């Protein structure tokens, strides 16, 4: 498939189809199970960057509470994305 036709196909497909293809490819090339942390960490980093590190907006985009977002950010990134009002 040419790069142009691949790009057109990707634009027409939804996020679910992209994720499904990526997971199938991943599972067919590795003997380990898909671990949710392998997906969550880059997803959360990307959403934080795209929302300019606004935790409330990032939580809405991800469909989680702000508290859950902060818990996940602490788990995956220590204090990188966790600010305090004192700073």
The CATH code of the domain that includes 58 is: 1.10.10.60
pLDDT at 26: 82
pLDDT at 64: 95
Residue 29 scores a pLDDT above 90: no
pTM: 0.66
3-state secondary structure of 59: helix
Q: Answer yes or no: are the C-beta atoms of 82 and 74 closer than 8 Å.
A: yes
- Residue 17's pLDDT band, with cuts at 50, 70 and 90, is confident
pLDDT at 63: 94
Residue-range definition of the domain harbouring residue 68: 36-77
Question: 43 with 25, same domain?
Answer: no
Mean pLDDT, the chain, integer: 81
pLDDT at 7: 62
């Amino acid at each position: 498939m040419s790069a142009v036709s691949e790009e057109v196909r990707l634009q027409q497909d939804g996020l679910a189809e992209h994720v499904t293809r990526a997971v199938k490819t991943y599972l067919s090339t590795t003997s380990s199970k898909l671990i949710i942390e392998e997906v969550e960490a880059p997803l959360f980093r990307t959403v934080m960057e795209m929302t300019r590190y606004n935790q409330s907006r990032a939580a809405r985009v991800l469909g989680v509470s702000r508290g859950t977002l902060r818990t996940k950010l602490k788990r995956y990134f220590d204090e990188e994305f966790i600010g305090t009002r004192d700073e």
